[in-house]
Amino acid sequence: MKNFYERLVRPLLFSLDAETAHHVTMRLLGRASRFDPALRVLRSLQPPSKPKTLFGLNFPNPIGLAAGLDKNGIALPAWAALGFGFIEIGTVTAKAQPGNPKRRIFRLPEQQALINRLGFNNEGADVIANRLAALHESGRWPAVPVGINIGKSKATPLEQATDDYLYSFRLLRDFANYITLNVSSPNTPGLRELQEPEKLSDLLSAIGKEAGTVRKPLIVKISPDLAAAELKDLLAVCEENGLSGIIATNTTLDHASIPPRLDQAGGLSGAPLRNKSTTLVREIAARSTIPVIASGGIFDAESAREKFQAGAQLLQLYTGLIYRGPQLLREIVDSL
Ligand SMILES: Cc1cc2nc3c(=O)[nH]c(=O)nc-3n(C[C@H](O)[C@H](O)[C@H](O)COP(=O)(O)O)c2cc1C
């Protein structure tokens, strides 16, 4: 049976272009984040507490918001009120940037999927750091762990990627309970090359040196399109550098399941990504002791269970939320 969101809210949102629907939703959640009565209404949807401790952090439940939905960190109190066990904002880049030309998000309802080629549209590390500082001062900072996902600015050449990440890292680390290095978006040319052992090693050791006395857990978000040998090398580099966790996975460039008439350039997410990302979670859990946060095609309690059984410690939702609404969170947490 369809839930309230699927019956009433989704048809309204899906009558709009995907990016417009996203803006409308984010504006509403941003406003709700500053208005206590609205937060109280959102709290009525909250799932029960299913606490979990990882990276020395306490999560009220293991289901988080994936990066990309709240790129600019405008609705943290609303996500927490809805009951997310943790919130990952970003991807934030050192320089503000508009992203790729529109249209750049496409719904594929039959496939329960999205294709996006946004290209890290965001307000940049300075503006976002100021926004987070203001939220802190307002006393509305959420009580759940907040991760900040950082990536490379498009205008920065790949050879200078480390400095670009360092810039955002320095500005944002104090606000974050963990930092995610995004080296796997398919929509910034060359970014995925940072998963290669030598480049990744340079990036991780530079950030590691910078980390200072108050060390924040450092996490790398990886692509589902890595070959077995590439994954093996990547895991070795992550272990050598004492990485805290791995997010598996970002969107895929494998569009084999998409009929050519519906296909678009960009990263594919949602149901068609489910098996691929579960396979990667299983391989990492088998080969390494680094904790895995699973992301990719989680649409219901069953697909969530599959990720935990594959070895994931925490999960993150994106496309499932677009299709199933906040009730999905409750459905999954209730089933744990
Ligand atoms: C429209 C859209 C924008 C995204 N933007 C980002 C991003 O900025 N940074 C990032 O690390 N992942 C981003 N992602 C990837 C998601 O965080 C998630 O890892 C991926 O979509 C797989 O999960 P899903 O199948 O539940 O959507 C984006 C995904 C979508 C659909």
Q: What is the mean pLDDT of residues 4-22?
A: 98
Instruction: Report the nearest atom of ligand 1 relative to the CA of 182.
Output: 11
Instruction: Judge if the beta carbon of residue 315 lies within 6 A of ligand 1.
Output: no
Backbone angles phi, psi at 40, to 5 degrees: -65, -40
pLDDT at 334: 97
For residue 247, how far is its CA from the centre of ligand 1 (angstroms)? 11
> Is the pLDDT reported for residue 165 higher than 70?
yes
Q: How far apart are CA 293 and CA 244, in angstroms?
A: 11
> What is the distance, to the nearest Å, from the Cα of residue 325 to the centroid of all Cα atoms in its chain?
16
> Is the pLDDT reported for residue 249 higher than 90?
yes
Residue nearest to atom 23 of ligand 1 (CA): 296
185 catalytic residue (yes or no): yes
Kindly indicate the confidence band of residue 40, based on its pLDDT and cuts at 50, 70 and 90.
Answer: very high
CA distances from residue 102 to 6, 115, 118, 162 in whole angstroms, order as listed: 26, 13, 8, 29
For residue 145, how far is its CA from the centre of ligand 1 (angstroms)? 19
Instruction: Judge if the beta carbon of residue 320 lies within 6 A of ligand 1.
Output: yes
Q: Which of 168, 185, 223, 269 is catalytic?
A: 185
Q: How far apart are CA 71 and CA 49, in angstroms?
A: 26
Instruction: Judge if the beta carbon of residue 297 lies within 6 A of ligand 1.
Output: yes
What DSSP designation does 310 have? T
Q: Cβ contacts of residue 121 below 8 Å, gap of 6+?
A: 71, 97, 98, 99, 100
> Is the pLDDT reported for residue 213 higher than 70?
no
Q: How far apart are CA 138 and CA 190, in angstroms?
A: 39
Name the residue among 193, 191, 181 with its Cα closest to residue 149: 181
Q: How far apart are CA 299 and CA 149, in angstroms?
A: 23
For residue 73, how far is its CA from the centre of ligand 1 (angstroms)? 15
> Is the pLDDT reported for residue 147 higher than 80?
yes
For residue 233, how far is its CA from the centre of ligand 1 (angstroms)? 24
Residue nearest to atom 18 of ligand 1 (CA): 250
Instruction: Judge if the beta carbon of residue 71 lies within 6 A of ligand 1.
Output: yes
Kindly indicate the confidence band of residue 45, based on its pLDDT and cuts at 50, 70 and 90.
Answer: confident
Q: Kindly report the pTM of this predicted structure.
A: 0.98
Residue nearest to atom 13 of ligand 1 (CA): 68
Q: What are the tens digits of pLDDT across the range 124-140?
A: 999 999 999 999 999 99
